[in-house]
């Protein structure tokens, strides 16, 4: 497959300049205070050129997120596959996911105080990722149930509840100035989850 062909007035150079300018503007001003004019000026192009590439500021934020998250999910899925047991896979899922999200946030250079503003705006662009995360988490719990490591009746319901909790903790991690304490809380939550999943599980045969 050859390089993408851009319609008249559009170019890969313009798109890159727009994304770079948007990343910088969002990190300095926040999403609400950043205007398309700000981004165009920083990119050294006209406002109309920005709209040739992106129909709205929300679409531009989605592209910024998409570019910076890169292969986050691919890395997460590969790390989970390498883990030997369902318990190790669940631990890997939670720890690697948090590390990857923190890395993306640092790449974007977003001040922690601005993350609460960005999370709800970015959510519509992350629905496919959420579905893949849910499928991966459910597969771990199903495997654990099949092996007798986890005592659960409805793996999907458990996966949905756990992922919802992780989303909430992610928001705390990304917006808290006490990151070390929040990460300690995440570790404690992981241990509680594992204990809860294993209550009533079959002992491995000898």
Together in a domain, 188 and 170: yes
154-206: pLDDT as tens digits: 999 999 998 888 877 666 655 554 556 666 777 777 787 888 887 655 554 44
Are 63 and 82 contained in the same domain? Answer: no
Range of the domain at 27: 12-67
Same structural domain for residues 125 and 28?
no
Closest-CA residue to 72 (of 95, 100, 53): 100
Q: Rounded to an integer, what distance in angstroms lies between the CA atom of residue 19 and that of residue 116?
A: 21
Both 63 and 93 in one domain: the answer is no
Indicate whether 3 belongs to any domain. Answer: no
**Number of domains the chain is built from:** 2
CATH value at residue 23: 1.10.10.60
CATH number of the domain where residue 187 is located: 1.10.357.10
102 shares its domain with 38: no
Counting residues of the chain whose pLDDT is more than 70, the rounded percentage is 71
Based on the domain organization, do 90 and 119 belong to the same domain?
Answer: yes
Q: 100 pLDDT exceeds 60?
A: yes
Pair 152, 53 in one domain: no
| Cα 128 to Cα 135: distance, rounded to the nearest angstrom | 11
User: Does 115 share its domain with 138?
Assistant: yes
How far apart CA 33 and CA 30 sit, in angstroms, is 6
Residue-wise pLDDT tens digits, 107-148 = 555 555 566 666 676 777 677 788 889 999 999 999 999 999
In a domain, 2, yes or no: no
pLDDT score of 142: 96
> Which of 35-44, 91-100, 168-177 reaches the highest mean pLDDT?
35-44
State the pLDDT at residue 99: 81
Model pTM score: 0.66
């Amino acid at each position: 497959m050859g390089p993408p062909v851009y319609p008249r007035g559009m170019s890969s150079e313009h798109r890159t300049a727009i994304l770079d300018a948007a990343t910088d503007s969002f990190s300095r001003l926040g999403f609400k205070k950043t205007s398309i004019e700000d981004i165009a000026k920083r990119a050294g192009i006209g406002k109309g050129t920005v709209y040739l590439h992106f129909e709205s500021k929300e679409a531009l934020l989605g592209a910024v997120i998409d570019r910076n998250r890169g292969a986050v999910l691919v890395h997460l899925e590969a790390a989970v596959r390498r883990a030997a047991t369902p318990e190790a896979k669940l631990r890997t899922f939670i720890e690697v996911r948090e590390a990857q999200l923190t890395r993306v946030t640092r790449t974007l250079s977003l001040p922690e105080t601005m993350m609460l503003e960005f999370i709800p705006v970015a959510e519509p662009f992350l629905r496919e990722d959420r579905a893949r995360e849910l499928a991966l988490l459910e597969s771990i719990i199903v495997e654990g149930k099949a092996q007798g490591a986890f005592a659960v009746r409805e793996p999907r319901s458990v996966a949905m509840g756990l992922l919802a909790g992780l989303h909430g903790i992610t928001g705390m991690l990304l917006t808290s100035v006490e990151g070390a304490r929040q990460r300690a809380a995440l570790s404690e939550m992981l241990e509680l989850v594992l204990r809860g999943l294993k209550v009533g599980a079959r002992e491995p045969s000898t």
